[in-house]
Structure 1
Amino acid sequence: MTENLYPAFGILLVDDEPAWLRSLSLTLESSAGITNTSLCQDSRQVLGLLDGGGIGLVLLDLTMPHLSGEEVLKEISERHPAVAVIVISGLNQVETAVRCMKSGAFDYFVKTDEEDRIVGGVLRAVRMMELQRENLEMSSRLVSGELRHPEAFTGIVTGDRSMLALFSYVEAVAKSPQPLLITGESGVGKELVARAAHRLSGCRGKLVTVNVAGLDDTVFADTLFGHVRGAFTGAEQARRGMVEEAADGTLFLDEIGDLSIPSQVKLLRLLQEGEYFPLGSDLPKRLRARVIVATHQDLPAREGTGAFRRDLYYRLRTHQVHVPPLRERRGDIPLLLDHFLEEAARDLGKKKPTPPQGLAQFLSTYGFPGNVRELKAMVYDAVSVHRDRMLSMDSFVKAVERAAPQAGGAPSPAPRQNPFSGFAELPTFGDAAGFLVMEALERAGGNQTLAARLLGISQPALSKRLKMLKG
């Protein structure tokens, strides 16, 4: 199996000295993990290689036979303006550097500069090119609004427009090496979004999930970075960390908002430097995985109180999606209900039951503080005790009644307008009861059984009320 190359576009190294080319190539690979490089010793071949496509960055020497580096730079600027050029020359001349920058060079270095300075300049150019390509990709996909790979989202049952827009965004940024931040309440399906992003990323490695909530600093570092033998008491053997397990794949860190400040510092270094140290080791290892993080916490609020580092927050939010709660996409409830009925019946070895008429309407009146996870639990509980062909609504009603006293801390919809504010005189109790009955029937879609449950009365009592209204 071929190794994934980094970056996604090629980097062409041009110099007539083969020893320098090999040295620079090895330095870029060992210091920055850059492996997608090509070597060229003849400056006359550069434009032909660029015409073939796939090259995004050129590292160019100036003093070469046949065509000088400055001539090649001018030709690249005219024929391939989207290709960035970094000049790495043996000449330390200010006038030459100024001419190159005016001709379109991204940066200028001297071969005698420190390796870290040259590597840093190459990484800056790579990140600039990546951002440019991401912006173009996102613009084209978001404008079209069409998913190229809808199969990646088959695990998420929805027909909501906000969710479909979220899918388009995730598909657009899936191949980006920058972190992806997924926010949303517990139970909305943040891990499913992370799995979809991993499938779309093209990474050949696996998705490694780590829930970091409750991990102290030492356990966090050991879990992510691993340790060498003898790093601490009891470390009799070396252990690979989750970062290494996710190499060439995706590292998904869930509940990132609960990290301690010392652990946040370690994560920030991992993301900024692209390297980490296993516990007890002085030799750094390169980060070779895409990082996706998720949280149900309000990170801006935690950052405002000092509980979350500002620099880490802005590092994580390069790409960000918010998964809306179920109460904001009630149209998905019938779809999810049918999906979970089929799934529960299959898992429990039963025939899929027929839901009672009005069940979806009844569930749509509930706020679901536990979101999709809560709905799934309701369905599994109802199917597990199901006996007849028609599914009983009692299990759902009891679940809602049990949850009602505990839902005080859950987010609630905006308060409804006073229904009597338009009346010059207050209605009588009889009139108010009539208004309440008609509202319940409207919400229940004309289903009297469901309307009676919404009102907390029996169906005979509702029928009596209706007869009184008609009279």
Structure 2
Amino acid sequence: MGDNRYPAFGVLLVDDEQPWLRSLSLTLEGPGGITNLLQCADSREVMTILEQQEIGLILLDLTMPHRSGEELLGQIVAEYPHIRVIILSGMNQLETAVSCMRAGAFDYFVKTVDEDRLVDGVRRAIKMIELESENHAIRRRFFYDQLDNPEVFAPIVTNSAAMRARFQYIEAVAPSTQPILITGESGVGKELVAQAIHTLSAKEGSLVSINVAGLDDNVFADTLFGHVRGAFTGAENIRKGMIEAAAGGTLFLDEIGDLSSASQVKLLRLLQNGEYYPLGSDQPKQMTARVVVATHADLDAKMAAGTFRRDLYYRLYSHHVHLPPLRERKDDLALLLDHFLTEAAVKLGKKKPTPPKELVVLLSTYSFPGNIRELEAMVYDAVSQHNQKILSMKSFLARIDTQVEPLPLDQTHSFSNPFSSVENLPTLQQAGKLLVEEAMNRSTGNQSIAARLLGISQPALSKRLK
């Protein structure tokens, strides 16, 4: 397991003045929350440190005895081009600043600059380094079709190439400190993905999950931030918020699309500043948890309607994982069916039943609005009623029939007409023949299932086929 220092790589502070090094460290650690710091007061030792430590960012003083900052900058850029260098100077010299930027410095600050501006500059550099590292990891994984930790994704039952691509992306971005947005319909497995992200991040803290749907603004704030004694009527004891419970770990906020407007503002400030105030307190606390959010809602539509903030959306969109619905993963149906049959048999204390061959075909003709969670419920229901060797399809058929109701004739216009762009219309007989062929194709030749798709009896279909 890793430690909780931020960022994952070292930030090296180089200055010959020890008091300034101590002051800079306190500034970065306190308001900045940047804790993975190393100090160097002798410029002659810098290159040795770079050989021995994993350094991603250097804050480099210009005027030092032995070796100047400009001399070191040239050598660092030549030998360690992946390391970002921020120059710190005691004087505001425009010409020197331009010279350093041309030589390869990432940024340039005067030591007397406002602390917040300096911390923002360092955080900006850290984010740039993290994004470059993630992009490199993503390219490497996709190029070699590489998955380093397949065991982490074992709870997500799939053989889908689309899902494997998402796993590769998750592996690349899991170590990041930026938020991750997981989208997808209800029942696709967003919670399992959040767990995989937490496991891959190798954080020492816990995964703390909150479903924020239906929470009013006061309850949301109290749940997240906690409160001090006397914060409001009835607050007789201190309450630690979920952010504190997730310290050094992962905070998972589910159904983020249902947050009230006031709560969205609070979450945005938390993500922007990295700090929060327990209710009734004027002492800020630093957030050390990684934030993962999920929603089944269409956030684009919510933004267009004005019910979801664009600035919050773009803050959450640093990394995005969209999980496809089960109807787009039908190759996984047989695998998932077998998995849930095994699981249900164990939990219900029964021998695992054998499913009829046509069951997977039947399931493949259904759109699964409830996705994997709905399939799981179907299987558990069937196994609970099972008392023979072959699993009955009766409960599956009943469930599908209640979910799929044929449209009344006066509503059939809601379907897009497949013949509207055809110049020469087929005859009724030809159209019927094409429909029957398609139904037989979708049912892999099973007349009973094809007849259900067409809304006719099996004898009527058999007659048409003859």
- TM-score for both structures, normalised by structure 2: 0.91
Instruction: Give distance in 1, aligned partners of 2:427 and 2:82.
Output: 72
Point out the more displaced range, 1-10 or 440-449: 440-449
Q: What is the match of residue 31 of structure 1?
A: 31
In structure 2, the residue matched to 1:443 is 442
Q: Secondary structure at the match of 1:58?
A: strand
Query: Matched residues in 2 for 1:266 and 1:237: separation?
Result: 23
1:458 Cα shift? 6.5
Quote the offset at 1:332 in angstroms: 1.3
Q: How does 1:48-127 map to 2 (within 5 A)?
A: 48-127=48-127
The 8 Å contact of residues 358 and 445 in structure 1, kept in 2 or not, is answered as no
The one-letter amino acid paired with 1:223 is T
Quote the offset at 1:200 in angstroms. Answer: 1.2
Which residues in structure 2 correspond to 1:123-202 (within 5 Å)? 123-202=123-202
CA distance in structure 2 between the aligned counterparts of 1:424 and 1:167, rounded to whole angstroms: 46
| CA apart distance, 1:102 | 2.9
| 3-state SS, counterpart of residue 31 of structure 2 | helix
Inter-partner Cα distance in structure 1 for 2:261 and 2:10: 38
Please name the residue that 1:426 is paired with.
Answer: 428
Deviation per CA, 1:192-235, whole angstroms, max 9, x where unpaired? 11111111112121111111001111111111111111111111
C-alpha contact (below 8 Å) 1:226/1:279 kept by paired residues? yes
State the partner residue of 1:281: 281
The answer for the alignment partner of 2:239 in structure 1 is 239
Counterpart contact for 1:63–1:89, Cα < 8 Å: yes
Post-superposition shift, 1:268?
0.6
Q: Which is further off, 434-443 or 51-60?
A: 434-443
Give the Cα separation in 2 of the matches to 1:343 and 1:4: 36
Q: What's the counterpart of residue 259 of structure 1?
A: 259
SS class of match (1:97) = helix
- Residue 307 of structure 1 pairs with residue 307 of structure 2: yes
The alpha carbon displacement at 1:325 in A equals 0.9
What is the root-mean-square deviation in Å for CA atoms of aligned residues? 2.5
Answer yes or no: is 1:20 the counterpart of 2:28: no
Amino acid at match of 1:107: D
Q: How many residues align?
A: 459
Superposed CA deviations along residues 384-424 of structure 1, whole A, max 9, x for unmatched, are: 1111111111110011111123999xxxx9868459x7775
Query: How far apart, in 2, do the equivalents of 1:225 and 1:468 lie?
Result: 67
- Aligned partners of 2:203 and 2:249 also within 8 Å: yes
Q: CA 1:57–1:455 in structure 2 vs 1: closer, same or farther (change >3 Å)?
A: closer
In 1, Cα distance between equivalents of 2:18 and 2:42: 10
How far apart in 2 are the matches of 1:76 and 1:469? 77
For 2:215, the equivalent position in structure 1 comes to 215
User: 1 CA distance for matches of 2:406 and 2:284?
Assistant: 49
Residue range with higher mean Cα deviation, 133-142 or 251-260:
133-142
Please say if residues 73 and 85 of structure 1, whose CA atoms lie closer than 8 Å, have aligned partners that are also in contact: yes
Give the corresponding residue for 2:411. none
Post-superposition Cα deviations, 1:236-295, rounded to whole Å, max 9, x if no partner, equal 111111111111111111111111111111111111111111111111111111111111
- C-alpha distance in 2, partners of 1:382/1:313? 41
Equivalent-residue separation in structure 2 for 1:357 and 1:415 (angstroms): 33
For the 8 Å contact 1:70–1:100, the answer to whether it is kept is yes
AA at the equivalent of 2:341: L
Change in Cα spacing, 1:93 to 1:400, as seen in structure 2 (3 Å) is same
Matched, 1:345 2:345: yes
Distance change >3 Å, CA 424–CA 54, structure 1 → 2: closer
- CA, structure 1 residues 292+97, in 2 after alignment: closer, same or farther (shift >3 Å)? same
Cα distance between partner residues in 2 of 1:125 and 1:443: 54
Per-residue displacement from partner, 1:297-336 (whole Å, max 9, x unpaired)?
1111111111111111111111112111111121111111
User: What SS does the corresponding residue of 1:233 show, helix, strand or coil?
Assistant: coil
The whole-number CA distance in structure 2 between the counterparts of 1:169 and 1:374 is 27
Matched AA of 1:226: G
Distance 2:58 2:130 in 1: 15
Letter in 1 for 2:365: T
Deviation at 1:80, TM superposition (A): 1.9
Q: Describe the shift of the 1:204–1:423 C-alpha distance in structure 2 as closer, same or farther (beyond 3 A).
A: same
Q: Are residues 438 and 93 of structure 1, via their aligned partners in 2, closer, same or farther at CA, if it must alter by over 3 Å?
A: closer
Q: In 1, distance between residues paired with 2:324 and 2:100?
A: 50
Instruction: Please give the per-residue CA displacement for 1:138-185, whole angstroms capped at 9, x wherever unaligned.
Output: 222222222111111111111222112111111111111111111111
Give the TM-score normalised by structure 1. 0.91
Distance 2:254 2:292 in 1: 8
Aligned equivalents of 1:314, 1:94: Cα separation in 2: 34
Unmatched segments (≥5 aa) in structure 1: none
Distance 2:223 2:426 in 1: 67
Supply the distance in 2 between the matched residues of 1:407 and 1:13 (Cα, whole angstroms): 69
1:2: Cα distance to partner? 7.4
> Are the equivalent residues in 1 in contact too, given 2:2–2:202 (CA < 8 A)?
no
| Structure 1 residues 303 and 391: CA distance shift in structure 2, 3 A | same
The runs of 5 or more residues in structure 2 that have no matched partner are 409-413
Within 1, Cα distance between the matches of 2:233 and 2:11? 46
2:419/2:425 contact within 8 Å kept: no
1:42 aligned to 2:42? yes
Q: Whole-Å Cα distance in 1 between the matches of residues 152 and 86 of structure 2?
A: 38
| Alpha-carbon distance between aligned partners in 2 of 1:307 and 1:277, rounded to the nearest angstrom | 25
Q: Structure 1 406/378 Cα, relative in aligned 2: closer, same or farther at 3 Å?
A: farther
